[in-house]
Amino acid sequence: MKSLRFMLIGLGLSVGLAGCKDSAPHPGQAIWEGTCQVCHGTGLAGAPMMGNEKAWASRLARGKDSMYGHAINGWGDMPARGGNAELTDEQVKLAVDYMVSKVE
């Protein structure tokens, strides 16, 4: 009887928590805040602003590989790695993924 009660409690917790959002920040958020926010948070130099679906539409249409390449190597007024040479390719990709997650 005791094990049935624990099983029902566990089931109730599982069902109750299923609708909860993951409270952990996106792994690219800190990178965005430390490097990308300067331009993508303000629109500086024509950078598409975070969450602006219209500004991101043409970029999304080209695909993530294109966005990764532009972010890593630079594109137009955007310097390579957002001007932060210390960022690895993977960190840049995480920042791109974070920005894209706000418009998808």
pTM above 0.85, yes or no: no
Task: Tell me whether residue 92 is exposed, middle or buried, using C-beta atoms within 10 angstroms of its C-beta: 0 to 12, 13 to 18, 19 or more.
Answer: buried
Query: How far, in Å, are 6, 26, 38, 76 from residue 71 at the CA level?
Result: 50, 18, 14, 10
The share of the chain scoring above pLDDT 70, in percent, equals 79
Does position 4 have pLDDT exceeding 50, yes or no?
no
92 close to 81: Cβ distance less than 8 angstroms: yes
- What does each C-alpha distance from 1 to 4, 6, 7, 8 come to in angstroms? 5, 9, 10, 11
Range of the domain at 71: 26-101
What is residue 23's predicted lDDT score, i.e. its pLDDT?
Answer: 82
Tell me whether residue 11 is in a domain: no
Q: Tell me whether residue 59 is in a domain.
A: yes
Q: What CATH number is attached to the domain comprising 39?
A: 1.10.760.10
The 10s digit of each residue's pLDDT in 29-63 is 999 999 999 999 999 999 999 999 999 999 999 99
Tokens 């791109």 belong to 96
Q: List pLDDT tens digits, range 63-85.
A: 999 999 999 999 999 999 999 99
53 vs 17 pLDDT, higher one: 53
17 in any annotated domain: no
